[in-house]
Amino acid sequence: MKKEELQAIAAQLKHPTGEKGIEMANMMNETNINMTRHSIQNLNIKAGDSILELGHGNAGHLEFVFEQAEKLKYYGLEMSELMFQEARRINRNFVSQKQAFFSLYDGNKIPFEDTFFDNIFTVNTIYFWQEPEKLLSEIYRVLLQKGIFCVTFAEESFMKQLPFTPYEFELYNTEKAEKLIEKTLFKIVNKETLIEKVKSKTGELVDRAFTTLVLEK
């Protein structure tokens, strides 16, 4: 593939737009579903919790969130107008029942008041954080005391094999992510790295290592 094509894929993964963006979102939802579920399961969701997700894509996993406990409220923040619209369309029942709330944001400032959420999670967005420490302090601010934040990402060892990651992506391994967290007030209460089989772009099965860091305020 040419450099321009690879740059276009990277840009779509960071900020999906247009027809290609919808395709990319469907593909991301499928390929990331195990990672997303792992992140959600590590939140220890209880009845009545308010949950925030950063960078939800098409939010095809929302049903799984609502299966965790009763009377949940889910809030999704997205930088992509297309993903905001797609998530609302796919989850219109949850939206109309006032269980799910979607908003756009700039990727830096979280538009909620202090100590608003019981749990926060994000999957495969860490590579695109513009100012990681600032964003983490924003996440810390909107989280309740003893609240849980799960950050899940594919390990650098896997990501660097992908031809488009030199563009737009800041790759992380567990150690680098932990060093970033250590600059914040969060406590790392758990971490787990799993290996899963995923289909590569050429259709063959490859091993992907991904990590969830479980942080507590």
34-65 pLDDT, tens digit each:
999 999 999 999 999 999 999 999 999 999 99
Q: How confident is the model at residue 201 (pLDDT cuts 50, 70, 90)?
A: low
Q: 């297309």: which residue's tokens? A: 82
Spatial distance between the Cα atoms of 212 and 193, rounded to a whole number of angstroms: 7
Compare 14 and 136 and report the one with higher pLDDT: 136
104-123 pLDDT, tens digit each:
999 999 999 999 999 999 99
17-40 pLDDT, tens digit each:
888 888 888 888 888 999 999 999
71-103 pLDDT, tens digit each:
999 999 999 999 999 999 999 999 999 999 999
In this prediction, residues 166-187 reach a mean pLDDT of: 96
Three-state SS string over the chain comes to CCHHHHHHHHHHHHCCCHHHHHHHHHHHHHHCHHHHHHHHHCCCCCCCCEEEEECCCCCCCHHHHHCCCCCCEEEEEECCHHHHHHHHHHCHHHHHCCCEEEEECCCCCCCCCCCCEEEEEEECCHHHCCCHHHHHHHHHHHEEEEEEEEEEEECHHHHCCCCCCCCCCCCCCHHHHHHHHHCCCCEEEEEEEEEEEEECCCCCEEEEEEEEEEEEC
In this prediction, residues 130-153 reach a mean pLDDT of: 97
pTM confidence score: 0.95
Question: Residue 120 has which token pair?
Answer: 């926060």
pLDDT at 190 over 70: yes
Spatial distance between the Cα atoms of 102 and 120, rounded to a whole number of angstroms: 14
151-174 pLDDT, tens digit each:
999 999 999 998 899 998 999 999
Q: What confidence score (pLDDT) does residue 24 get?
A: 84
Q: What confidence score (pLDDT) does residue 185 get?
A: 97
Cβ atoms within 10 Å, residue 23: 12
Spatial distance between the Cα atoms of 208 and 89, rounded to a whole number of angstroms: 30
Give percent above pLDDT 90 in the chain: 80
pLDDT at 178 over 90: yes
Question: Which amino acid does the sequence have at 80?
Answer: S
